[in-house]
Amino acid sequence: MPRSAPLGTLLSALVEGQAADGKFQLLYRAHQYEELGLQSVLAYRRVRGIYNAATKPSAHDEYEGFVSWLARRIFAERTDVRAVRVSMQRLKLGTRRRPSRTVAVELESLRNRGDV
């Protein structure tokens, strides 16, 4: 049986909201989980180009503005969320026999309700 070679790595967006109890809950994970109703916006290639730094080692200059915009959208719709954390998971892509796995969390940025 031929060996399966790894496919490389990619960045995947992760958005979490902090509830009153201080715990963060998942609101969005690219291609896996969507609670925000923003999948079509976040997956649009020009928006994705702001936060997914496929061509350079860090996100584009607009990343912090993108995080603030996203936090404002979430705060407007979710009164129970007091902080928003946006980060990128660097995933090591797997093969058919080995699943993908997170190898690092990068570009973590936090916005509190009163900050934006």
| HSE-CB of 40 using CA atoms within 13 angstroms | 1
* Cα(3)–Cα(104) distance, integer angstroms: 26
Please give the Cα distance from 39 to 44 (Å, whole number): 8
Domain boundaries defined on the chain: 8-115
Report pLDDT digits (tens) over 63-88. 788 899 999 999 999 999 999 999 88
What average pLDDT is seen over the chain? 79
pLDDT of residue 88: 82
Q: Is pLDDT larger for residue 22 or for residue 89?
A: 22
CA dist., res. 90 & res. 88, Å (int): 6
- pLDDT above 70 as % of the chain: 77
